Structure 1
Amino acid sequence: MGDLDSMQKRIPTGSFWPLPRAHTADGSPRGTGVEIEFANLTENATAQIVQSLWGGRIVAANDHDITVEGGRLGDVRIELDLFLRDKAGSVLADKLLDLSRTVVPVEIVTAPLSPADMPECDALADALAHAGAKGSQDGVLFGFGVHLNPEVSAETADAIVPTVRAYGLVEDWLRAIDPPDPSRRLLPFVDPWPHKLVDALAADAADWTLDDLTRNYLDLSPTRNRGLDLLPLLTHLRADLVARALPQGTKGGRPTFHYRLPEARLGDPQWSVAYEWNRWVLVERIAADPALLAALAQSWTDWRAGLPGLRGTWADVVAGHLDRAGIWA
């Protein structure tokens, strides 16, 4: 694991790498919504911290669902991340919500942020930690995450499918260089993509249309509980196909990737939102390198077939490709 450990240390924690495709089809910067989970602060205390940093007006639907409206970075929601939140206001629901704080995170949900504003997320994370917020590392049941929702550069197969292929081919490596917290591994919310989906991405996806991507994902991974959840994006792009495959419905569509794998380790000096962002940027750098993507796809097919010459785990094979490709600069 020495090479994998050294690779993890090459990902910066103090600066945000730019995306390879930094703009959308209309020339505007790609926005990214950010969700941060943590414990040990109330929603109201969290709202006051957000307001102190970004301004705005605190508007409370109830004690567990608050919005800081009109701040310099747009509206920010603060909520207890639990289905009971929708029933807040009844005595029983409020009591259960209050009792759940030991295991259920408070969640901050930002408006889409420009690349120039992404460092504000680390300023917020630092302020939360200083006020007493706890991250995944602080409790055996604290399996908290940061969700990144980068806007797609264009709603086309050329812009989307390579990124999906890249993630599928390097997900094992992302998990190996920085394994998720044990509590997150025990829960189903960020499960890895099934190997059958990666098989399809490696073998056929170079020529996929958006319809092909949607049908394969719905056939092989019809759930949101993945490290990269494609259902919001596919619902936005192909709502009819998703509705037929998932008649129970989804939470709605949006033109973003929903990257759920990142940890929320507030207060850990070795961690930052920038670090988690840069891990995503590596995925997009791989997607932007057709030769590297093709080499990874071929190696995956060979590795799955047990061909000689590919030693070690798949994460080790990926590490060799990335070292040779020089994608770190």
Structure 2
Amino acid sequence: MSDQKACRMPDILRTESGEERRVGVEIELSGLSYETLVQLSEKLLSGQARQASRYVAELDTDLGKFTIELDSDPIKDLDLQDERLPQSMRELGGQAMEFIDAAAEKIVPLEIVSPPLPFTSLERVEALCDELRKAGALGSREALYYAFGLQLNPELPDLGADTLVRYLQAFAILYDWLKSRHQIDISRKFTSYIEPWSSTYTDMLIAGDYAPDIKQLMRDYLKYNPTRNKALDLLPLFAHLDKAVLAEFVEDERIKSRPTLHYRLPDCDIDNPRWHFSTVWNDWVVLEQLANNAEDLAELREMFRQSRKLSIRNLTLSWLDTCEQWLRNRDYV
């Protein structure tokens, strides 16, 4: 039996302080009842669940605290004794709640939110997703109104401006390739959750002489992208770096400060037997490797800049094809 791991590891596994880098994982799905998902997660993660509130369970494991929840605040917080509700609904009590529960579990995603996990522990997430598929979990492809994602919150090697610029440049260059790899379901294409960055901002970012400090980097980004709804959302990181600068452009109580990127692009296609958590993670590792190879990043960045100019060549050859071939030639994929 092969002991080869499904999840690839990037070359840089530790932060500048010497700690192993970590990543938070958010998995949206349906097809299982809330209670079933809690019980399965408890078993598969060898944890102990406790009910934190309606439709929110906290699961203590050796990896830290996972949260399993129905991803809809109005339903999680619903109180049938609330005087603002119709009298008829309050009188029905438990029967009304059973009806609401049944409807909610059909159209509102259930979500598993991990604690920050060491990169080297991600085989556990791979196994969790595979077992949930076997149990009947459904992903985005199951219905038009499903727009389920698998989100990653990877910790950076350090928070220096030059490191951030490299990661942002790598993402801008690879955006079309990543989008094609994830085969974004039509239900998510119709949403505004995973928009690309402003084209004007991208041109600024990939300029050969772009070397801002942290405050300027934040202001450049926020001038053109003042929203959470981006395929790579930087607002949690910016809240961690400098809340005052963020507040110049965005006021949103949903933004949670954390020293990570927030990668929102991938679907959760968990019921597809050809899809695995590792397929998403390993594509992210391609970005990691490119961001931390200065020579390759400079070469591909220049090719990307040229691809954005009007020319006969660019009318006949797509950037996606060019990028894919370059990555293969350099053994990134």
TM-score by length of structure 2 reads 0.88
d(CA) in 1 for partners of 2:107, 2:39:
22
Is residue 219 of structure 1 aligned with residue 223 of structure 2? yes
Is residue 322 of structure 1 aligned with residue 327 of structure 2? yes
Equivalent residue number for residue 62 of structure 2: 72
d(CA) in 1 for partners of 2:100, 2:322:
48
What amino acid sits opposite 2:33 in the alignment? T
- Which consecutive unaligned segments of at least 5 residues does structure 1 have? 1-12
SS at match of 1:169: helix
C-alpha deviations, 1:225-245, integer Å up to 9, x for none?
111111111111121100121
Q: Equivalences for 1:283-302 in 2 at 5 Å?
A: 283-302=287-306
What amino acid sits opposite 2:49 in the alignment? I
C-alpha deviations, 1:292-321, integer Å up to 9, x for none?
222232223222221454442221222233
Equivalent residue number for residue 236 of structure 2: 232
C-alpha distance 205-160 of structure 1, shift in aligned 2 (>3 A): farther
Deviates more, 1:285-294 or 1:106-115: 285-294
C-alpha deviations, 1:162-203, integer Å up to 9, x for none?
011100111012112442001110111112222222111111
d(CA) in 1 for partners of 2:77, 2:54:
11
C-alpha distance 86-267 of structure 1, shift in aligned 2 (>3 A): closer
Please tell me whether the aligned partners of residues 292 and 321 of structure 1 are also in contact (alpha carbons under 8 angstroms): no
**Which of these residues, 285, 294, 317, is aligned with residue 281 of structure 1?**
285
Deviates more, 1:240-249 or 1:35-44: 240-249
Equivalent residue number for residue 176 of structure 2: 172
Which of structures 1 and 2 has the bigger CA Rg? Answer: 2
Equivalent residue number for residue 34 of structure 1: 25
Identity %: 31
d(CA) in 2 for partners of 1:25, 1:305:
38
d(CA) in 1 for partners of 2:330, 2:46:
44
Equivalent residue number for residue 106 of structure 1: 110
Equivalent residue number for residue 193 of structure 2: 189
**Which of these residues, 253, 259, 262, is aligned with residue 263 of structure 2?**
259
Deviates more, 1:290-299 or 1:139-148: 290-299
What amino acid sits opposite 1:22 in the alignment? L
Deviates more, 1:311-320 or 1:45-54: 311-320
What amino acid sits opposite 1:237 in the alignment? L
Equivalent residue number for residue 36 of structure 2: 45
What amino acid sits opposite 2:136 in the alignment? G
Please tell me whether the aligned partners of residues 165 and 205 of structure 1 are also in contact (alpha carbons under 8 angstroms): no
SS at match of 1:245: coil
Q: Report the alpha carbon displacement of residue 250 of structure 1 after superposing the two structures with TM.
A: 4.4
SS at match of 2:126: helix
d(CA) in 2 for partners of 1:215, 1:47:
42
Q: Report the alpha carbon displacement of residue 206 of structure 1 after superposing the two structures with TM.
A: 4.1
SS at match of 1:305: coil
What amino acid sits opposite 1:25 in the alignment? E
> Where does structure 1 differ by over 6 angstroms across 4 or more consecutive aligned residues?
none
Q: Equivalences for 1:198-217 in 2 at 5 Å?
A: 198-203=202-207, 206-217=210-221
Superposition CA RMSD, Å: 2.1
**Which of these residues, 149, 154, 157, is aligned with residue 150 of structure 1?**
154
Q: Report the alpha carbon displacement of residue 78 of structure 1 after superposing the two structures with TM.
A: 0.7
**Which of these residues, 5, 13, 20, is aligned with residue 22 of structure 1?**
13
C-alpha distance 61-178 of structure 1, shift in aligned 2 (>3 A): closer
d(CA) in 2 for partners of 1:227, 1:303:
21
d(CA) in 2 for partners of 1:134, 1:205:
46
